[in-house]
Structure formats: structure tokens, C-alpha cells
């Protein structure tokens, strides 16, 4: 949490492009970091924070504060997920069933982009080679359009019939 002074009344009703609303946009002499905490809830411009007992006294009942949220550490997976939400493609986690069409084939035979394979021993292989064989009970992480993912799921779970087509009953 940052304590921020009351801003002077703006000369115009239009916000300036330089003011992005962050504490970083304020001169260092005007903003003061007073505590760190955990965001518990928010409603409009009101937030509930969990802070250490030692930091509670730093807050004034009538003070103006600015909350800045940031991850505890950089997380490439969160950035990737946020980019993926804006794309037409999505990700699915598919297990290769014994006797399915994908058992014994390679990563390159799977439509879409295989971004990882998790063998039965639990060690994840990121960006596997296209020639890497797939075996039963392995987990495959695939990025593709939803209709392609549905087809991959069907082919990975249905058992092949004796002639190699359709499903075995």
C-alpha cells in the first residue's frame, strides 16, 4: 500500500495521458510505501487487506491510499495464460488411452501444438520433439482451436477396432 497525497484539482476534466493511476506515476517525494499485504476482497474502490500487526498503525482512518498489486515472483505461466485468453486457440490436457489412435504414434502426429508431455513417471517434458513417441497413460498438453481439441480428445480416448478404424467394443 502506498500513501498518496490528495491530488490538486485538475485544471481540465480530461485526465492527462501521463497519469496512468499508478504510484509509479507520482513523484517519489509524494508517494510513500507504508505496508505490504495480501488482497482478500474488493468492491468498487474499497479493498480488504490482510497486513501484519506491525503495519496496522501505519494506516489512518481518513487517509488516501493506492493499492498496487503485483505477483510475488514473475510467472511466465500467468503471462502465457493471459495471452492465450485473447487468442482463438485454447489449451487442453489429454491422456492417451491404451489402444487409442494416438498410442504408438508421435507428437508430430497430434494436430495442434503439443507444448508438453507428462510420462507416467510424472516428469514433464516441455516442448517435446516431433518424433517423440506417445505411449498409453501419458498426459499431452495441446494448444489448438476448440473443434480440433475435441477431435484430439476423441481420438486419444477411443479404442481402435481390430482393423484400426472406429472404436472397439
Contact at 8 Å (CB) between 112 and 141?
no
- Cα(116)–Cα(77) distance, integer angstroms: 13
Q: What burial letters (b/e) apply to 46-74, b meaning 16+ CB within 10 Å?
A: eeebeeeeeeeeeeeeeeebeeeeeeeee
Query: What stretch(es) of the chain map to CATH 3.30.70.1450?
Result: 76-157
Predicted local distance difference test score (pLDDT) of residue 44: 80
Continuous H helices in the chain: 53-56, 76-85, 146-157
Domain 76-157: assigned CATH number: 3.30.70.1450
Predicted local distance difference test score (pLDDT) of residue 71: 61
Q: Convert the pLDDT of each residue in 107-147 to its tens digit.
A: 999 999 999 999 999 899 999 999 999 999 999 999 998 89
Q: Convert the pLDDT of each residue in 57-115 to its tens digit.
A: 888 888 777 777 666 666 666 777 777 777 777 889 999 999 999 999 999 999 999 99
Amino acid at each position: 500500500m502506498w500513501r498518496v497525497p490528495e491530488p490538486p484539482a485538475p485544471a481540465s476534466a480530461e485526465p492527462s495521458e501521463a497519469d496512468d493511476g499508478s504510484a509509479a506515476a507520482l513523484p517519489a517525494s509524494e508517494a510513500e510505501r507504508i505496508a505490504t499485504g495480501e488482497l482478500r476482497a474488493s468492491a468498487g474502490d474499497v479493498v480488504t487487506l490482510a497486513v501484519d500487526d506491525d503495519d496496522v498503525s501505519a494506516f489512518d482512518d481518513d487517509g488516501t491510499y493506492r493499492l498496487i498489486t503485483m505477483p510475488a515472483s514473475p510467472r511466465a505461466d500467468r503471462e502465457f495464460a493471459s495471452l492465450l485468453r485473447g487468442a482463438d486457440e485454447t489449451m487442453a490436457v489429454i491422456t492417451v488411452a491404451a489402444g487409442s489412435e494416438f498410442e504408438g504414434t508421435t507428437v508430430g502426429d497430434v494436430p495442434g501444438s503439443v507444448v508438453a508431455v507428462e510420462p507416467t513417471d510424472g516428469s514433464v517434458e516441455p516442448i517435446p520433439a516431433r518424433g517423440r513417441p506417445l505411449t498409453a497413460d501419458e498426459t499431452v498438453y495441446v494448444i489448438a482451436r476448440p473443434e480440433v481439441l475435441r477431435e484430439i480428445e476423441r481420438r486419444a480416448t477411443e479404442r481402435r477396432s481390430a482393423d484400426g478404424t472406429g472404436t472397439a467394443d
